[in-house]
Amino acid sequence: MSASILDLVRPDLRAFAGYSSARRAGVSGSIWLNANESPWASLADADAQCQRYPSPQPEPLRQALAALYEVEPQQLLIGRGSDEAIDLLVRGLCRPEQDAVVISSPVFGMYAVSARLQAARLIDVPLVDGPLGFSIDISALAATAMREAARVVFLCSPGNPTGHSLPLDVITTLAARLADKAIVVVDEAYIEYSDVPSATTLLAAHPNLAVLRTLSKAHALPGARIGCLIATPELIDVLRNCQAPYPLPTPCTELALAALQPDALTRTRAHIEEVRVERERLAAALLRLPGIRRVYPSQGNFLLLRFDDAETAFKRLLKAGVVVRDQRSAPQLHDALRISIGTPAENTVVIHALQNLETAA
Ligand SMILES: *Cc1c(COP(=O)(O)O)cnc(C)c1O
């Protein structure tokens, strides 16, 4: 089974060993003269944390993230946000001007950016907007991925900006249909806010499945740029060789480790719960306001809204000092804004700003 995963990797990269960095040499000693580092720490670096090149995949962080995500450390590749994992997947699997990436719009923009940079074909199988919110057309997606011989299919669950979650059986069905044909990537940037459990539990049965997790959203560390690809160790090993030699700055690793301590995790969980409560309060309040045509159910830390007049809504919010995401140029969302869930006080400002939308500005 595992050999078939390597068949999906670009043939020219299957045996690529990448850069042989000083930290990867696997030797030990007390006098380090192998990496042209300075023997003195910078005055700015009081505890000499950054005097040496970091480990490419610091073991304590790998252990802590594996424990958090309930997977084996060998299934993890830590990178500069899940954005880097997206890029590595597309670069590692798609031959330029040949292989295809499949997305379902409206969706997070980085899949298309990475496809463009790799000159991979981008195929869109749009989400379907129904009475219960957006959903994925799973048979069209599978059929298109097969027809186009796609190498990577990006699913986003909960979806950004739609807020819908994919049931695990939908992911299972797609992964099974595309076994040996494509890697099905489930981007779970917002899974902490969702009622649907992570797709990591499906990895053992589906080696062509990959999951993206990040510390940028619920863990409140977008500035640290720590994200993970979780996949079969064969794929992790190949993509690790395609990654930058020292992707994780030491201060970022230390920050991430601190954020994974029990007290920090307890606080993070409390904030997740608060966001979930506020999400429902904000949704209920906005649903009652005239001029708001639709509040999509959301499993993330944001709401997607349709307005009679999105321009006026956007301006009213700005006038109240509230910056939200304009979605009007996204497919199917010509009248929509996406609002992140803030503190209770911030959400109340949003509700007030959107009252009386029907009266002219
Ligand atoms: C925010 C977001 C990301 C980016 O995560 P980083 O780990 O900060 O790179 C990835 N996917 C989706 C769907 C997002 O909304």
Kindly report the backbone phi and psi dihedral angles of residue 185, in degrees, each rounded to the nearest multiple of 5, phi listed first.
-105, 125
Nearest ligand 1 atom, CA 217: 1
Distance (Å, rounded) from C-alpha 275 to C-alpha 139?
34
pLDDT at 1: 44
Q: Give pLDDT tens digits for 343-357.
A: 999 999 999 999 988
Is 288 exposed, middle or buried, given 0-12, 13-18 or 19+ CB atoms closer than 10 A? exposed
Burial of 106 (0-12, 13-18, 19+ CB in 10 A): buried
What confidence category does residue 2 fall into, taking pLDDT thresholds of 50, 70 and 90? very low
pLDDT at 92 > cutoff 70? yes
Q: What is the DSSP letter of 161?
A: T
Average pLDDT in the 301-320 region? Answer: 98
Sign of CA dihedral 163, 158, 111, 99: negative
Q: How far is CA 13 from CA 25, 54, 236, 289, in A?
A: 21, 25, 13, 55
Place of tokens 């209920």: 284
Q: What is the pLDDT of residues 211-260, one digit of tens each?
A: 999 999 999 999 999 999 999 999 999 999 999 999 999 999 999 999 99
Q: How confident is the model at residue 332, as a pLDDT?
A: 98
Closest Cα to atom 11 of ligand 1:
189
Query: Which of 214, 229, 255 maximizes ligand 1 atoms within 8 Å of its Cβ, making it the mutation to test the pocket?
Result: 214
Residue 21 banded pLDDT, cuts 50, 70, 90: confident
- The SS3 of residue 28 is coil
Mean pLDDT value across residues 19-33 = 78
Three-class secondary structure assignment of 225-239? CEEEEECCHHHHHHH
What is the Cα–Cα distance from 355 to 140, expressed in whole angstroms? 40
Q: Give the mean model confidence (pLDDT) for residues 14-42.
A: 85
One-letter amino acid at 90 equals: V
Check residue 25 and give its pLDDT: 62
Q: What is the pLDDT of residues 280-300, one digit of tens each?
A: 999 999 999 999 999 999 999
How remote is the CA of residue 108 from the centroid of ligand 1, in Å? 8
The residue to mutate among 108, 185, 325, having the most atoms of ligand 1 within 8 angstroms of its beta carbon, is 108
Q: What is the spatial distance between Cα 91 and Cα 95, in angstroms, rounded to a whole number?
A: 8
What residue owns the CA closest to ligand 1's atom 15?
A: 160
Which residues line ligand 1 at a C-beta cut-off of 6 Å?
81-83, 108, 156, 160, 187, 189, 214, 216-217, 222, 227
How far apart CA 148 and CA 102 sit, in angstroms, is 9
| Res. 361: pLDDT tops 70 | no
pLDDT in tens, 93-152: 999 999 999 999 999 999 999 999 999 999 999 999 999 999 999 999 999 999 999 999
- Residue 19 pLDDT: 79
Q: Are 226 and 256 in contact (CB under 8 A)?
A: yes
**Ligand 1 atom showing the smallest separation from residue 108 Cα:** 13
Distance 345 CA to ligand 1 centre (A): 25
* Tokens encoding 69: 């995500």
Question: If you count DSSP H runs as helices and E runs as strands, how many of each does the chain have, helices first?
Answer: 11, 13
Q: Which of 184, 179, 186 is nearest to 3 (CA)?
A: 179
Using CA atoms, how far apart are residues 235 and 152, in angstroms rounded to an integer?
13
Q: How far, in Å, are 60, 92, 93, 139, 165 from residue 242 at the CA level?
A: 22, 7, 11, 33, 31
pLDDT for the residue numbered 350: 98
Largest CA distance in the chain: 74
By most ligand atoms within 8 Å of CB, the mutation choice from 77, 80, 83, 228 for ligand 1 is 83
Instruction: Compute the average pLDDT of residues 190-211.
Output: 97
Provide mean pLDDT across the span 140-167: 97
Q: Which residues pair with 307 in a beta bridge?
A: 292
* Band of residue 360 on the pLDDT scale cut at 50, 70, 90: low
Question: For residue 226, which of 242, 248, 254, 246 has the smallest C-alpha distance?
Answer: 248
What average pLDDT does the chain have?
Answer: 95
Ligand 1 mutation pick, 86, 216, 226, 338, max ligand atoms within 8 A of CB: 216
Name which residue sits closest to atom 5 of ligand 1, judged by CA.
Answer: 82
Question: How many angstroms is it from 85 CA to the middle of ligand 1?
Answer: 10
Residue 317 has phi, psi (to 5 degrees) of -65, -45
Terminus-to-terminus CA distance in the chain, angstroms? 62
